[in-house]
């Protein structure tokens, strides 16, 4: 039996981008376009309303908040007077909604984007049809200077998502959601990201080969894979894992929020599954933090479709105290 997280906050549209800063948990609600601050006592405080749906969040060295506008195709900066200023512009980069973001200690912002209109695609096709050759659209991670100037773009990835640095900042670990793997990208001296290399595959090689194959084998596999769109079936599976948000774990491992089912998974290099913690719903973000630094927080959702999520307000933050 997997240990289970418990609900600590609820009533949101789509909780994403869990961050720990100044002894508090910060997060956004993508469905309602808000950014929140929670000191783990009582109810959270709303600190910003973001046009175009709030996405990834981060902090500049002076403490100012950066927040993605997913549909505005930009990163806003929250000034001390409460005003939002465009910090970085992705209109010429993003081919779909802007996604998660990591801001490093120097204030450089690493920002991904969908690469296409994902929700429009799902209204017409099952998710598995994204793997018809040549496969899902790819898009780069954009790196911006602390002043918001574009430094460079990574090689295109299949739905770049959560990010965090490893190897004392020399490498960036990224969730490549639609490739069902984590990749490692070297961080160059000027902050740009070098070529990615596989770090942890989260799908069996034979299944990946089959689902991406042309011809009859691929067609049959994709039809079977479409069953995972039915949540009752997905919840009874253990593979594959679609990594969304990721966070550092102990001993050089990574915690992964599994967008396919209700769980967070701790993964080692090479894809070894070390721990699983069950949640009540699919997970989009995870983080090990808290007053004692021993709590796994998970952002869970009933749906990631923005209009439906605004109606349901069923997204939650769940928590599990990790054993010492």
Q: What is the pLDDT of residues 115-124, one digit of tens each?
A: 999 989 988 9
pLDDT confidence of residue 225: 86
**Cβ-contact 118, 158 below 8 angstroms:** no
pLDDT confidence of residue 1: 76
CA–CA gap between residue 179 and residue 320 (Å, rounded) = 28
Q: What pLDDT, in 10s, does the model give residues 157-187?
A: 999 999 999 999 999 999 999 999 999 999 9
pLDDT confidence of residue 238: 80
**DSSP letter string, 53-102:** -EEEEEE-TTS-EEEEETTTTEEEEE-TTS-EEEEEE-TTT-SS-EEEEE
CA–CA gap between residue 172 and residue 181 (Å, rounded) = 14
Q: Is the pLDDT of residue 322 over 90?
A: yes
Nearest to 58 by CA among 28, 94, 85: 28
CA–CA gap between residue 166 and residue 201 (Å, rounded) = 17
Name the phi and psi angles at 294, rounded to 5: -120, 15
Which residue reads 């160059």 in tokens? 188
CA distances (Å), 243 to each of 24, 62, 177, in order?
25, 31, 5
Provide the pLDDT confidence category of residue 228 given band limits of 50, 70 and 90: confident
Mean pLDDT of 262-289: 97
Q: What pLDDT, in 10s, does the model give residues 72-100?
A: 999 999 999 999 999 999 999 999 999 99
Provide the pLDDT confidence category of residue 206 given band limits of 50, 70 and 90: very high
Mean pLDDT of 6-22: 98
């Amino acid at each position: 039996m997997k240990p289970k997280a418990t609900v600590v906050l609820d009533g949101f549209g789509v909780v994403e981008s869990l961050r720990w800063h100044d002894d508090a948990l910060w997060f956004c609600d993508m469905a309602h376009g808000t950014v929140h601050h929670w000191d783990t006592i009582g109810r959270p405080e709303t600190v910003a309303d973001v046009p175009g749906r709030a996405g990834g969040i981060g902090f500049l060295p002076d403490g100012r908040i950066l927040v993605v506008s997913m549909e505005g195709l930009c990163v806003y900066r929250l000034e001390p007077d409460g005003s939002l200023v465009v910090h970085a512009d992705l209109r010429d980069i993003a081919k779909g909604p802007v996604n998660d973001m990591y801001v490093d200690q120097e204030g450089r912002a690493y920002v991904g984007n969908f690469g296409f209109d994902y929700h429009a695609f799902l209204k017409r096709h099952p998710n598995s049809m994204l793997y018809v050759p040549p496969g899902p659209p790819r898009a780069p991670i954009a790196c911006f200077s602390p002043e918001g100037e574009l430094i460079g773009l990574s090689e295109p990835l299949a739905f770049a998502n959560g990010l965090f640095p490893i190897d004392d900042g020399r490498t960036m670990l990224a969730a490549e959601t639609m490739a069902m793997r984590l990749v490692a990208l070297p961080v160059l001296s000027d902050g740009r990201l070098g070529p990615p290399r596989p770090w942890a595959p989260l799908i069996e090689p034979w299944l990946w080969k089959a689902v991406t194959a042309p011809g009859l084998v691929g067609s049959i596999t994709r039809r079977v894979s479409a069953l995972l769109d039915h949540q009752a079936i997905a919840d009874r599976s253990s593979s594959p894992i679609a990594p969304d948000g990721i966070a550092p774990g102990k001993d050089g491992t990574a915690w992964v929020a599994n967008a396919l089912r209700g769980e967070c998974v701790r993964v080692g290099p090479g894809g070894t599954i070390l721990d699983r913690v069950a949640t009540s719903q699919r997970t989009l973000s995870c983080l090990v933090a808290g007053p004692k630094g021993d709590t796994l927080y998970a952002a869970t959702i009933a749906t990631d479709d923005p209009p439906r999520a605004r109606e349901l307000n069923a997204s939650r933050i769940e928590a599990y105290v990790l054993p010492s």
